[in-house]
Chains A and B, each alone.
Chain A
Amino acid sequence: MSAVTHTDRAVVRASHKSHPVVRWLRRNVPYVILVSYCVVVLVPIVWVMLASVKTRREVFLSPLGLPDSIQWQNYFNIFESGFQHYIWNSLVVTIGSVVPMVIVSIMAAYALARRVFIGRKTIYLLIVLTYAIPIHSILIPLYRIVDDFGMLNTYAGLILPHIAIGIPFSVVILYSFFLDFPEELEEAARLDGCSPWRILFSVVLPLSAPAVLSVVIFQTVSVWNEFLWASIATSGEERRLWTNGIMQFQGEYSSDWPKILAVVNLMMVPLLVIYVLAQKHFVRAFAGMGK
C-alpha cells in the first residue's frame, strides 16, 4: 500500500507546475472514467436486486423505479418449486469436487516439483498440455465414458470429471509455488529424520496456505458456476444443479422476470458477499494466474 502513497505524492507534486485546468483534469478525469464504469457494473446488479421484489408490470414499465410494495412471494416461490434441492446438489458437487481435487493436486504438484523420479518431466508436460482445454472439446467421448460407467445422473458423474478438468490448472499453480519453496526448510527436516510425508504435512503445507487458498477459491467459483457438463450429465430433477435449475426456471416462467430474477439474486448475492468479505484472497486467486 505504500506504493499508493508514493503515487499520491507524485501526482500532487506534478500538478503544482501545470495550469489549473490541466491540473483539475488530471485529478478528476481518472475518477470520472472509473466511477462511470463502476456505475455500468453496479446498475445491472442493483436492477436484479430491485426487480426481484417487484411485480412484473413494474419491471416492464418502470425498470429503475422502486417497487410499490415488496413482493416477497417471488422468493417463496423459489422454495415452493423445490429449488433448494438444486442448491443442495450444487453444494455437494462443489465441495465433493474441490476438496479431493485440491488434495490430489497438492500431492502431484509437490512430487513433480520437489522429487526426482522417472517420468516426472513427461507427466508435467502432459498436464501442461491440457491446461486450457475447454470441456466442449472432449464432451462427446466424455459423455459416452461416463455413461458406460453408469454414472449419468449421479454425483460421481458430475464430480469426477470436474476433478479431472480442474487438475491441470491446480497442479500448474501449485507446482510453481512448490518450485520456489525454500529448500533449506525441507533439508533441515530431512536431516532430522522426517519421512517425506512428515515433511509435506508438517513443513511444506503450513507455509503453503496462500497458494492453496487461491486454488480453492478459483476452483470453487469455477465448479459452482459450471453449466455445460452439468446439463449434459444430468437429465432428471434428481441431480440437477442450480445453473440448470435457472434455465429450467427461465423456461417455466419465461416472461415472469421477477420470479427468474429472484433466483438469480438468491444465487448471486451470497457469492458477492463472500467476495467482498474475502476480496483480498479472491483477487490473489485470479491474479495468481499471472504469477
Chain B
Amino acid sequence: MIYNRKVHGTYFDLVMVLPALLLFSIFIVWPAVEAIFTSLYASPNRGGDFVGLANYREMVGDPVFWIAMKNNLLFILCNLVFQVGIGTIFAALLDRGVRRFSTTMRTIIFAPLVIAPVAIGVVWSMLLEPNFGMVRQLANTVGIKLPSQGFLGNPDLAFYSIVAVGAWNYIGFMMTIMLASMQAIPRDLYEAARLDGSSAIQTFFHITLPGVKGALILCSLIVIVGSFKTFEIVYVLTRGGPGNTTQVLGTYIVESAFTLFRPNYAAGMSVVVLIVAIFFGSLQVLTSRKRK
C-alpha cells in the first residue's frame, strides 16, 4: 500500500482539530461574540431596542459597577501581596530553610486547593460567624476583643476577610510554582555565595529572586486573571454585601442578569471582563512560551 502523505495528512489534521474547534466555537467564541451584540440592546424590561453604547454609558455612571471594578483591582493588589508574596517566602523557607518534614508541610499548605471554593466559603462563613464562630471563641479565650459587627458584616473588614480566605485557599498554589522554580536554581550558585560570606537574606535577594523572575511573573499573571475570575467565595461569604461593599464584577454580573432582570446591561459588564481576561490570559501563555 502506498501511503499518500499529502491527502492523508490533510484529512488527519482536519479530524484532529475539528472536534475541539467545533465545541470551542459553539460554547466559547459564539457566546463571546454574542455578548458584544447583546450589550448593544436594552434589557427586555426596558424595551429591548437597539441602544448602541447606552449600557456602557450607564455603566460609567453606575456607582456599584465602580465598586465592583475597584474591588477587583484591589483584589489583584492584595492577592499579589498575600498569595504571591507569602507563597514565595514559604517556598524559599521550604527550599533552603528547613531539612525535615518539608514534604509534609508542603502537602499540608497545598491541600486547601483541592477543596471546592463553595465548601470553603460555607466553612469560613461559619468560622467567622460573629456569635458562635470559632474565630470569635478563640479570640475570647485569649482575651482579644473582636469588633462587634463581626468580620463579614462589617463593611471595613468584609473585603479583607474575603482576601484572607482567598489566601488560605491559594497560598499553596503559588508556593508550589515558586518552589518548583527555586529547585531548578543550580546549587553551586548558593555554594559560591556562601564562600563570599553572603547572609541568608542577601542570598535570597541576589540569587533566589533573580532565578525565579519568570515564575514570579507567571504567578502574578495567574493572580491577576484569578482575581477577575473571583465569584464563588464572594457569593458564598457575603453575596456582595453588606450593602454592595464587597461586590465584584462576577457577582454583580450575575445579580444584574438574574436578580435585577437586566441581562443586556450585565452583558456589557461581561464584555469588560472578557477584554481584561483576554489581555492578561494571552500575556500569560505568550510570556511563558517566550521564556522557553
Contact = CB atoms under 8 A, between A and B. Distances in A.
* A–B in direct contact per CB < 8 Å: yes
B134 to A, nearest CB: 4
A148 to B, nearest CB: 11
A225 B114 CA distance: 8
Interface in B69-126: 89-90, 93-99, 102, 105-119, 122-124, 126
B162 interface: no
Contacts of B138: 63-64
Nearest to A14: B194
Interface of B is mostly: helix
B79 to A, nearest CB: 15
B50 interface: no
Contact of A196 (B9, B114, B119): B9
A111 B28 contact: no
A61 B131 CA distance: 10
Interface in A28-49: 29-31, 33-35, 37-38, 40-45, 47-48
Nearest to A164: B27
Given A128-B286, A161-B27, 4 more contacts: A4-B102, A130-B32, A136-B273, A195-B12
Interface of A: 3-4, 6-8, 10-11, 13-14, 26, 29-31, 33-35, 37-38, 40-45, 47-48, 59-61, 63-64, 104-105, 107-108, 110-112, 115, 117, 123, 126-134, 136-142, 144-145, 160-161, 163-165, 167-168, 171-172, 176, 193, 195-197, 221, 224-225, 227-228, 232, 243, 246-247, 250, 257, 260-261, 264, 267-268, 271-272, 275-276, 279, 282-283, 286-287, 289-291
B262 to A, nearest CB: 10
Contacts of B113: 221, 286
B111 A140 contact: no
A290 B215 contact: yes
Interface of A is mostly: helix
Given A105-B20, A164-B23, A130 B8 contact: no
B225 interface: yes
B152 interface: no
Contacts of B96: 7, 10-11
